[in-house]
Amino acid sequence: MRTAFVITPIIERDGDVLRPGYLDKVRSNPHLGPNLLAGILYSYSIDVTVVDLVCNESFDEQIVEQLDQYDVLFFSSNSTNWPGCGLLIRWLKSKKPSAIVILGGIHATLFAEDIIRRYPVDYIVRGEGEKVLMPLLDAIRKGIGFEDVPGLVVKNASGGVIQNPMASLLSPQELDELPLPLYDRLTPGKYRSLTVESSRGCFGNCAFCAIPFKKSWRPMSPERFVDKIELLESARSKTLYRYFTIVDDCFTSDHDRAILISKIISDRGLDFQATFDARVKDLLNEKLVEAIAPFTKGVLIGAESFLPNTLRRIGKYIEPKSIEKCAKTMHEYGIAKDTVFSFIIGFPWESKRDIRENISQIANLVLTWGVQVYLQWHLLTPGSKLWQLALDDGHLQITDIDDVEFITSERWFRASTGLTDEELLDLSDIVFAIKKVMMITSPQGIDSNPITFMLPPHLMKRSERLNTWIEAYERRARPELAAKKWTQ
Amino acid sequence: MKSDNDCLQFERDGVKVNTTRTQMAALINNLVFDDQFRTRFSTSYVDMLKKEGIVMDEETIQKLNTQNLSAIVSGLVPQTKNPAAVAVIAAVIVLSTPTPAE
């Protein structure tokens, strides 16, 4: 039985052609989940391969030929890549109906029954997959025992859907005992960094987020995590910049643990640099910041907003002043330039006036402490509380997620925010003006770009609307430039 | 925020910048809350530089005006390579002077 894990990219249209796009156009690190699960099958001497379609030039039916040699194919979906995943599964099944298709991931966990009714998927696995893989393959081989496979969702002979209870979440000890991800076949030079995890789950319960295992954080032991870092040296050498991307939701939440990890890395004299996510509250602890600073290639801090009402409504219980204090701490320990604060603007309840106030404080954070900011428009995450509200109000349907580019569509944006196009463009104009000032006054040069911000994606797609805006902006600065049209 | 950190003094490719973060904060505050000021900034920063003897080429201005748009299309952080772009540093000499709200 030949098996393969297929990593499907987020796709977008390029004229009549589909290509990897959005976050997967130039992805910096490989997806961890499929490589990790493949590592488990490999440890049981199962014939397994990872087919990574991310960063490919194109996405079309020819891909099916790459998959023809496998008997069992595992797909993983996180909603943003679901349109590509769904398409690929349909192409595959129409050309090779005997192929066994198994789907997992967050999207499959959230929408299993809907998917199995509408797509030619043989089995769906809900929840964490590590404990499910071998029992499922065993049941497929024998043709019996499916009722004992945890998390399995299948259709019965009469078309009804059967859902088995999910497997228990991996314990810290079980996380320690997991084999290494199957990175040995990683294409050299394809990615900038190597993806690892040191813990799983999240303490938080944010309204905009859809991770399925909230308030269920489980850590790997610090020693075992560092052991794995060392064992992944040959895989890391295949990356362009040789740093690690730690994908934990809560890497720094247990301060003593994060400090201990830093100490072990230091004691072993490892050449270790990593990017990771962190919380404002955690990074108020100076001992923690001092310990992790030497290993910090980049840290993304989910501040989300300076607006107290927004912080309360999304369930992010931090004080706005603690964001400022956090930035100050990062500055004092010399890692402000490697620190990116993430902010979200345009929640459904936010007015233009609210957002102006937010932008003002965000700009001053950058100016005062030299940190970077990732400023993004609110886009509903499938499965989140806010998405569920939009669904209940009839603004969206589950089937919207089937559409290529659904996440950047006008319909999706309209359901995600309450602002008019004029308000969106006016607020964008403010951010662009601030960015311009930041760029022209940076000692690092005009390439320095401390605020990452993009126009609302649905406006990017309307070239006529966009040209009107650009021309108005440029004509004011230099009339002769107005003749140049923006073409996508 | 007044501190030793407040000064922004440096020279890049022969262009001197001498301002403070306090002045910058005042400028940004005006850009956010004063639409008329922001319009004036958008319409006249090229001319203001020109008066200072700094002339930007069309490519530089276009990069400044559309760099966000380029970013999403290319999927990359924009990497402006045009050396002439550094001349716009001096904009702050003019622009960071706080302007009374209208």
CB under 8 Å to A48, separation ≥6 — which residues?
A: A3, A4, A5, A38, A41, A42, A182
Beta bridge partners of B30: none
Could you tell me if A478 lies within 8 Å of chain B, comparing CB atoms?
Answer: yes
Distance CA(A110)–CA(A126), nearest Å, equals 8
User: Mind listing the pLDDT tens digit for each residue in A385-405?
Assistant: 999 999 999 999 999 999 998
Q: What's the structural domain count of chain B?
A: 1
Distance CA(A320)–CA(A351), nearest Å, equals 18
pLDDT score at A426: 85
Tell me the shortest Cα–Cα distance from A437 to chain B, in angstroms. Answer: 7
Could you tell me if A396 lies within 8 Å of chain B, comparing CB atoms?
Answer: no
Distance CA(A97)–CA(A121), nearest Å, equals 11
Could you tell me if B77 lies within 8 Å of chain A, comparing CB atoms?
Answer: yes
DSSP characters for A187-253?
PTTS-SEEEE-SEESBS---TT---S-BT--EEPPHHHHHHHHHHTHHHHTTSSS-EEEE--S-TTS
Distance CA(A164)–CA(A150), nearest Å, equals 6
**Average pLDDT of span A327-332:** 96
Residue A237 exposure: Cα atoms within 13 Å on the Cβ side: 6
pLDDT band at A435 (very low <50, low <70, confident <90, very high): confident
CA A56 → CA A24, A25, A81, A258, B101, distances in Å?
9, 8, 14, 36, 52
Sort residue A24 into left (φ over 0), alpha (ψ -120 to 50) or beta.
alpha
Could you tell me if B15 lies within 8 Å of chain A, comparing CB atoms?
Answer: no
Tell me the shortest Cα–Cα distance from A415 to chain B, in angstroms. Answer: 22
The closest of A367, A210, A361 to B19, measured between CA atoms, is A367
Could you tell me if A435 lies within 8 Å of chain B, comparing CB atoms?
Answer: yes
Could you tell me if B94 lies within 8 Å of chain A, comparing CB atoms?
Answer: no
**Average pLDDT of span A12-23:** 86
Average pLDDT of the residues of chain A = 90
Query: Is B101 inside a domain boundary?
Result: no
pLDDT score at B77: 25
- Candidates B50, B68, B80, B88, partner chain A, best to mutate (most A CBs within 10 A): B68
Tell me the shortest Cα–Cα distance from A194 to chain B, in angstroms. Answer: 19
User: Mind listing the pLDDT tens digit for each residue in A149-162?
Assistant: 999 999 988 989 99
Could you tell me if A374 lies within 8 Å of chain B, comparing CB atoms?
Answer: no
Could you tell me if A15 lies within 8 Å of chain B, comparing CB atoms?
Answer: no
Higher-confidence position of A429 and A161: A161
Residues 55-74 of B with CB under 8 A from A: 58, 61-62, 64-69, 71-73
Q: Assess whether pLDDT exceeds 50 at residue A36.
A: yes
Pair A84, A14: CB distance under 8 Å = no
Distance CA(A302)–CA(A384), nearest Å, equals 17
Query: Is B2 inside a domain boundary?
Result: no
Distance separating the N- and C-terminal Cα atoms of chain B: 24
> Residues, chain A, total?
488
Contacts of B61 in chain A (CB under 8 A): 474, 477-478, 481
Tell me the shortest Cα–Cα distance from B7 to chain A, in angstroms. Answer: 11
∠ CA(B25), CA(B31), CA(B36), 5° rounding?
Answer: 140
What number is the ipTM of this complex?
Answer: 0.76
Higher-confidence position of B3 and A9: A9
Torsion sign across C-alpha atoms A339, A345, A351, A356? positive
Tell me the shortest Cα–Cα distance from B37 to chain A, in angstroms. Answer: 11
CA A149 → CA A38, A46, A154, A374, A377, distances in Å?
18, 18, 11, 42, 41
- Candidates A427, A441, A462, partner chain B, best to mutate (most B CBs within 10 A): A441
Residue range of the domain that includes B45: 9-95
CB contact under 8 A, A443 and B71: no
Contacts of A446 in chain B (CB under 8 A): 64, 80, 85-86, 88-89
User: Mind listing the pLDDT tens digit for each residue in A179-227?
Assistant: 999 998 888 988 989 999 999 988 877 788 877 766 789 999 999 999 9
pLDDT score at B88: 29
Residues 399-428 of A with CB under 8 A from B: 426
Higher-confidence position of A46 and A421: A46
- pTM (predicted TM-score): 0.86
Residue A196 sits at φ, ψ, to 5 deg, of -140, 165
**Which CATH number does the domain A3-163 belong to among 3.30.1110.20, 3.40.50.2300, 3.50.50.60, 3.40.190.10?**
3.40.50.2300
Tell me the shortest Cα–Cα distance from A134 to chain B, in angstroms. Answer: 39
Tell me the shortest Cα–Cα distance from B73 to chain A, in angstroms. Answer: 7
Residues 338-357 of A with CB under 8 A from B: 356
Q: Assess whether pLDDT exceeds 80 at residue B63.
A: no
Locate the domains of chain A by residue range: 3-163, 184-278, 455-488
Contacts of B65 in chain A (CB under 8 A): 432, 470, 473-474, 477, 481
User: Mind listing the pLDDT tens digit for each residue in A73-88?
Assistant: 999 998 999 999 999 9
**Average pLDDT of span B62-78:** 40
CA A176 → CA A34, A172, A218, A248, B80, distances in Å?
18, 6, 11, 15, 45
The closest of A8, A20, A11, A84 to A50, measured between CA atoms, is A8
Partner residue opposite B43 with nearest CB, options A364, A437, A477: A477
Distance CA(A33)–CA(A129), nearest Å, equals 9
Size of interface A-B (CB pairs under 8 A): 125
